[in-house]
Amino acid sequence: MIGRSTYLGLAAAALMTFHMVPGGGAQVVGAPANYSSHDAAFFAGLLSGRVWLYERPSSRHADDRNTLWGSYYGPDGTVRSCIHLDGAFSALVDRWRIVPSRRFRALHNYHKAGTAPDPGRNKGHVPLFYDPGIGRLHTESLSASGREWFVLSLGWVQESWPRALRDACPGLDLPADLPVNERQTSIRMDEAIAQDPEAPLRGVPGSALAAPGSTGLALAGGGPTVTAVALKQFLIDNDGRVLETTTGARLVLVLGPERDELRRLDRHGALADTGYLLPSGDGAAIVLQWERLPWKDRYRIGDPFPLLPTGERYAAFRLMDWLVARQRDVGLPFLDREDVAFRFEPDGLVKARAADGGELPGRWWWSRGHLQVSLDGEAQASSYPWRALADRLGWTPASDGPADPAE
């Protein structure tokens, strides 16, 4: 269940967070961060040993727009390309890598051997965006003034080299076992995709772990990149799961009946701090108030979301998944009583066996690393540190515990 505080923020209409300027770019001043849609490891795996076909839609030269370019990304870090500049095709051999970035999450990087990247400044160091539904891969770059984002390269990834580029750059040294796509005979981008619409790789494993709204500021064309409805669903889907910041910090999202939390984990996976998600006064943003850190973080609804899903369910939540799935009584002390037989159910419900054999309904939820259990008619709730609870039940994160604590 999504908590009341975050729901109020998410229910607000998504805002337009940047404005269009002449030439199809998006102003950077006052704009949100242009986060890559996935982490560096995903993009490295997507490109390695494959072909990226693309065009340069923002080129000043009309003849270069909608003209097919192609690059083969060798697993050895060599990229072999057939490019079109000044009205002619030419072969190019360079180096490539995908690097993590504190500002952009991941950057596509052409470089000379032995040089280090300079994210966001050097030419060629650009964020990437992959749409698993249609297989589109594109990059965006800043203008020379540093004030506008524009679409730099727009295309798709496939497993073969087009016949059109084989003919355009016959001297390019490509792997002997790289298939040639005989259907793709046109050097026009739109025609090449129409000749083999099944060539783009869609739904590549790991592509579901995308940050909402990270579709590219330039490609978004001036509107919000994520709606309040989509963001709300993302939070619901990731309740109890680990999220990562662009710096690699790990957080656990915990949605509760009264308030929602982000728990910051230390390098051992222990709770380091708890932050509370609160709506801003105008309902257009979510404010994250930390208990220990002396600052607040603020997220504007409509901006690309800064936290990347990992798909990892935090151990405490796996413990509760196990308890709910077992559907057996669990003896726990409750307030000042001896052990009470609880049965945990989905959606935060719990039942306690009464002395007369009846059942007392109640609720369970998480707060600050503790399992909270309340029963109807009781003014207080009992609190159980999750690691102590796991020890009591004989449950371990590595094995998800025995089938029965007595085993």
Average pLDDT along the chain: 84
The DSSP H or E segment spanning 84 is strand 78-85
Q: Using CA atoms, how far apart are residues 294 and 313, in angstroms rounded to an integer?
A: 28
Whether 11 has a pLDDT exceeding 70, the answer reads no
What is residue 400's predicted lDDT score, i.e. its pLDDT?
Answer: 65
pLDDT tens for residues 265-319?
Answer: 998 888 889 899 888 877 788 888 888 877 788 888 889 999 999 999 999 999 9
Average pLDDT over residues 320-340: 88
Q: Can you state the angle between helices 315-326 and 386-393, rounded to 10 degrees? A: 40
CA distance 372 to 158: 50
CA gap 41, 39 in Å, rounded:
6
Backbone angles phi, psi at 379, to 5 degrees: -80, -20
Give the mean pLDDT of 222-241.
89
Provide the strand spans (E) within 255-348: 260-265, 271-279, 285-290, 296-300, 308-313, 330-334, 337-345
Sheet containing 241-244: give its strands across: 296-300, 285-290, 271-279, 260-265, 250-254, 241-244, 308-313
Q: What is the pTM of this model?
A: 0.83
Cβ contact 358:376 at 8 Å: no
Instruction: With a cut of 70, say whether residue 14 has pLDDT above it.
Output: no
pLDDT-based confidence at residue 257 (cuts at 50, 70, 90): confident
| pLDDT over 90 (residue 404) | no
The string of pLDDT tens digits covering residues 199-225 is 999 999 999 999 899 999 999 887 788
Q: Give the tens place of pLDDT for each residue, 148-161.
A: 899 999 999 999 99
Q: Which of these ranges, 13-17, 40-44, 97-101, 180-184, has the smallest mean pLDDT?
A: 13-17
Highest mean pLDDT among 116-120, 183-187, 389-393: 183-187
For residue 321, what pLDDT band results from cuts at 50, 70 and 90?
A: very high
40, 58, 183 from 162: Cα distances, Å: 27, 23, 8
